[in-house]
Amino acid sequence: MDDETRTPDAASGAPKPGPRGVSRKAVLRAAMVAGPAAVLMGGTAAGAAPALAREARAGKDGEQRLEPTPTCDDGDDPTPPQTEGPYFKPNSPRRDSIVPPGAPGTRLKVSGFVFGITCRPLANVLLDWWQADAYGQYDNTGYRFRGHQFTGADGSFTLTTLRPGLYPGRTRHLHVKVQAPNQRILTSQLYFPGEPRNQTDPIFDSRLLMNVQQDGSGLVAAFDFVLNVS
């Protein structure tokens, strides 16, 4: 792609479509998850690829507004927060990997961007993650599989973790709180395509499916957040 080496517009911070309608953020995004060529070839390891916010923008010339990232609610109210569930703990460590040393499980890298409602990439957005370990257990005394990070100047983030295990009553999921500077917190969850329990978990919302690809023995996943801020 001939805009591969271009950088985001320094003045606006907003990616602009490339010569063939490929947005700069799409190119940035592709570079972030580039490991396996399969990532760029469409299709997923476990079902159809959900649309990413950046693709929605790239595919609609002149379309500037995106739907806010849905919480696991029916979505009639503007970005209503979903219950965080019983296992959130404040004051998680700041780190890009929440994998405890020696923890067993399937490697999972989650990356994406955080955008405002007008598609502006949002820098310094707090992402506070928590999840079950490979056995479906939360660490409620310490901070195993808990951590927070901030988006970069281009709105990007990458989290290194392991695929969370299942526990009774829920499908496979990650928890996250997303907060742009001085804005309200979006509490949400991310899901995995092709999970049988996606059909029966009443909290599951297909709008929160990640695009998950096999990467050797591990998984790479992509998801873009869109916050209801301009």
Closest to Fe ion by CB, 115 or 204: 204
Q: Which parts of this chain interact with Fe ion (CB under 5 A)?
A: 85
What's the closest the beta carbon of residue 174 comes to Fe ion, in angstroms? 8
- Give me the residue whose beta carbon is nearest to Fe ion: 85
Closest to Fe ion by CB, 27 or 212: 212
What's the closest the beta carbon of residue 87 comes to Fe ion, in angstroms? 6
What's the closest the beta carbon of residue 129 comes to Fe ion, in angstroms? 11
Closest to Fe ion by CB, 55 or 73: 73
What's the CA gap between 185 and 136, in Å, rounded? 26
Closest to Fe ion by CB, 58 or 132: 132
What's the closest the beta carbon of residue 172 comes to Fe ion, in angstroms? 9
Buried b (16+ CB within 10 A) or exposed e, 86-103: ebbeeebeeeeebbeeee
What's the closest the beta carbon of residue 95 comes to Fe ion, in angstroms? 20
Closest to Fe ion by CB, 3 or 201: 201
CA-CA-CA-CA torsion sign (106, 123, 146, 200)? negative
**Which residue shows structure tokens 């029916």?**
74
Closest to Fe ion by CB, 49 or 134: 134
HSE-up (13 A, CA, CB side) for residue 202: 1
**Which residue shows structure tokens 């297909």?**
206
What's the CA gap between 177 and 79, in Å, rounded? 13
**Cβ atoms of 163 and 210 closer than 8 Å:** no
Buried b (16+ CB within 10 A) or exposed e, 195-204: beebeebebb
What's the closest the beta carbon of residue 85 comes to Fe ion, in angstroms? 5
